[in-house]
Amino acid sequence: MSVLTLTIDGQEVGASSDQTILDVAKAHKINIPTMCFLEGLTPWGGCRICVVDVEGAPRPLSSCTTHVTEGMVVTTTTGKLESYRKMILEMLYAEGNHTCSVCVSNGHCELQDKAQEMKMDHVRLPYLNQNMPMDSTHEHFGLDQDRCILCTRCVRVCSEIEGAQTWAVAGRGVDSHIISDLGTPWGESDSCTSCGKCVQVCPTGSLVNKGNAVNEQIKKVNFLEHLLQMRGQ
């Protein structure tokens, strides 16, 4: 680990080589929007909302997975980056069935917040209208694939924090979806400890507590930071 200097949005900042662009930006209160990223979990770089321009790089790079280098020149906000982020959100909306008005997470949803923040006022793409299944077999929780944006926070928290490895992603491309225990209904899963961490980190109304009506599902995503602090990690 070494100390180095780089420029983010014209501001010269100091950093250590084990930090990512997002780490450094956060430390200097430079806002880069994120979606699949969650403090306390291994960055995955899947959603691409946090893309930034790095001088010399042929394409935008995800700031949550790109480590800083000496003399790096980073730009976090341009018209083009904003249009990319907006397009990503539109694709997420077009791929799933996010009917906000009847969702348990309405008003407490990171996807919904992001759409408002990025001024996504409509989706320019045709909707896929996929018929996605719902798993209500678990005693306490439900999985609504319609709302899933494949951020894999549930997969990561289950594997990295709970150590149960119940969740995984199956299928490829547009067929990708979350499965429990290699495709066993969640309620019959042997590995699930019913800890509920996946529900709390899920940014949308995909993983939810049972018994909530519209607008009632409020997640406590910050539990993770406290947990790690308690563990001294």
Q: Which residues bind other proteins (CB under 8 A)?
A: 93, 97-103, 106-107, 112-113, 115-116, 119-124, 126-127, 129-131
Of 70 and 113, the one with the shorter C-beta distance to other proteins is: 113
CB count, 10 Å around CB of 87?
A: 16
Q: How far is the CB of 83 from other proteins (least distance, A)?
A: 15
Output the CA–CA distances (angstroms, integers) from residue 212 to 74, 130, 136, 195, in the order listed.
Answer: 43, 24, 13, 18
Of 19 and 212, the one with the shorter C-beta distance to other proteins is: 212
Q: How far is the CB of 215 from other proteins (least distance, A)?
A: 8
Of 132 and 228, the one with the shorter C-beta distance to other proteins is: 132
Q: How far is the CB of 199 from other proteins (least distance, A)?
A: 20
Of 130 and 193, the one with the shorter C-beta distance to other proteins is: 130
Task: Name the phi and psi angles at 35, rounded to 5.
Answer: -135, -60
Of 75 and 212, the one with the shorter C-beta distance to other proteins is: 212
* 180's tokens: 């429990």
* 30's tokens: 């430079």
Q: How far is the CB of 100 from other proteins (least distance, A)?
A: 3
**Exposure b/e, 112-144, CB count within 10 A at least 16 = b:** bebbeebebeebeeeeeeeebeebeebeebbbb
In angstroms, rounded to a whole number, what is the distance separating the alpha carbons of residues 95 and 69? 36
Q: How far is the CB of 105 from other proteins (least distance, A)?
A: 9
In angstroms, rounded to a whole number, what is the distance separating the alpha carbons of residues 116 and 206? 19
